A and B are shown apart, each in its own frame.
Chain A
Amino acid sequence: MKKRIICKNASLGYEDGIVTENLDFTVNSGDYLCILGENGSGKSTLIKALLGLKSAVSGEIIWEGLSARDIGYLPQQTPVQRDFPASVREIVLSGCLAKCGFRPFYNKTEKKLAEDNMKKLHIDHLADHCYRELSGGQQQRVLLARALCATSEMLLLDEPVTALDPKAQADLYALIHDLNRSGITIIMVSHDISSALKYATHILHIAKKQLFFGTVNDYINSKSGIDFIETEGQ
């Protein structure tokens, strides 16, 4: 069965108002979708809705052939995490938790999965290090490894390169690109239009409402695309 997320004319918001509306798009298995927009355009709200943490005010968001267990998530860092005493291994392993169900402890398969994902993201030598002492780029890799433990289908990334230096940004983009080529669907919220155009297959541009959805090539030639690319100084 085809795995995809369909968003049908959805409006999202809180009790006191709509944040973004008229969202109409489909994410197919294997896509690399970049969600672009200014601050306050509803990107983070959209991510919450796609994760199922928040329901649409109107319209609907349908997961076809997907469940919460198939989705990995790379959230923005919270203040709690910045001084959290935890080793890299503990954090990566916690990504396997949903696979445990009612079983209280991790089994060998899950521990192996965690080790494999740490190797994949080149952080296996950091396994016993403390999370809060790592660099920003390394921390993002740890969280990415955790997300990979949770899924091999789809990753949602919420501004993963913010606060990283240019080298770490480039590394992380390359890594995410590799993951996408290995068959994992990527949905990424981003400020960074040049990388979005370079790596993504599809673009969703929102600003209180949907401005554009389609492939990267169509976006470059669309009106909102041209405007946005100009204002971002490309």
Chain B
Amino acid sequence: MLEKLQYYFEFPIVRYALIVGLLVSLCSSLLGVTLVLKRFSFIGDGLSHVAFGAMAVATVTGITRQMLIILPITVISAVLILRTGRNTKIRGDASTAMISVGALAIGYMLINMFSKSANVAGDVCSTLFGSTSILSLQKKEVILCIVLSMIVLCIFVLFYNKIFAVTFDENFSKATGINADIYNLIIAVITAIIIVLAMSLVGSLLISALIIFPSITAMRIFRSFKSVIICSAITAVFCAGTGFLISLLCGTPVGATIVTVNIFVFFVFCIISGFSGTKK
């Protein structure tokens, strides 16, 4: 088994994929805690569909550097979704659902109508579930991914206390003179960046899992914000690493395997918290 792994890791493509996988999982788990607590879990889902639509547009127009289109469109949508969340005419959840399903439908239609590839269904499937695309990463993309992840990590560490305050009690923060809107905007923008990064890993349908599962898992057991964040990060990295190795050995799709490991760990934590809960 070890020999088989060793053999695989001689390919740079496999190493790239592991690095990207770990970094993306780490970033999304950190942000996930905030999004889940702010009741914004659905935003991850909505944005990932927008990213899919943007990817379809990029594919159809035949632009080689697809990131240049996908990233700005997703960031702008993130800002718009947060804005409409406060608009009373269309309820926040409804408008997010509209944007997300709309982008999904239009994206699929565009690919179907204009794609020059022979295997349209295969293309769509790999974008939605990320089955193969992570093993086709270029060196440039890996570097871009590392840089963006580092930026996200730095922002998160530097604004950690502010993110906590805005997540726990936005009104109090505003009342005491903190510009909560700016921090909400920062959260939205880095969410968008992470989602675009994660698309190549697990595909756009499973991104929410990377964001939601580690933080919910951590919240089963830990009771302070800091410990939840740390546990969520460790869980995410562990699940991504394990899932990746399993998928190499068993030939299962990378994204789906990582998410499955996440689900498994979640249930393990549920059981543990159940036992410790009865002690009280």
Taking Cβ atoms with an 8 Å cutoff, the residues of A that contact B are 51-53, 67-69, 71-73, 75, 78, 80-81, 84-87, 90-91, 93-95, 97-98, 100, 104-106, 128-130, 132-133, 146-147, 150-151, 156
Contacts and interface: CB of A to CB of B under 8 A. Distances in A.
A130 B220 CA distance: 13
A72 B172 CA distance: 8
B1 interface: no
A97 B173 contact: yes
B6 to A, nearest CB: 41
Given A94-B164, A97-B165, A104-B160, A87 B223 contact: yes
A128 B223 CA distance: 9
B169 interface: yes
A78 B168 CA distance: 9
Given A94-B168, A98-B177, 14 more contacts: A68-B176, A69-B176, A71-B177, A75-B175, A78-B169, A85-B222, A86-B164, A90-B225, A93-B161, A97-B161, A104-B160, A106-B161, A146-B172, A151-B176
Contact of B176 (A85, A98, A129): A98
Contacts of B68: none
Given A69-B176, A69-B177, A85 B224 contact: yes
Contacts of A129: 223
A68 B169 contact: no
A85 B167 CA distance: 11
Contacts of B164: 86, 90, 94
Nearest to B161: A97
Nearest to B33: A85
Given A80-B38, A85-B223, A52 B168 contact: no
B139 interface: no
- Which of B172, B175, B224, B228 is most buried by chain A, counting CB atoms within 10 A of its CB? B175
B15 interface: no
Interface string B171-206: 111111110000000000000000000000000000
B140 to A, nearest CB: 31
A60 B86 CA distance: 25
Contacts of B159: 104
Contacts of A93: 161
A84 B175 contact: no
Interface in B130-166: 157-162, 164-165
Given A73-B171, A80-B38, A150 B224 contact: no
- Give 7 closest A-B pairs by Cβ, nearest first: A68-B177, A130-B223, A87-B224, A73-B175, A51-B175, A94-B165, A150-B176
B171 A75 contact: yes
B158 A71 contact: no
8 contacts: A67-B177, A80-B39, A85-B222, A87-B223, A90-B225, A94-B168, A104-B159, A156-B175
Contact of B168 (A72, A84, A147): A84
B170 to A, nearest CB: 9
A67 B175 CA distance: 10
Nearest to B158: A104
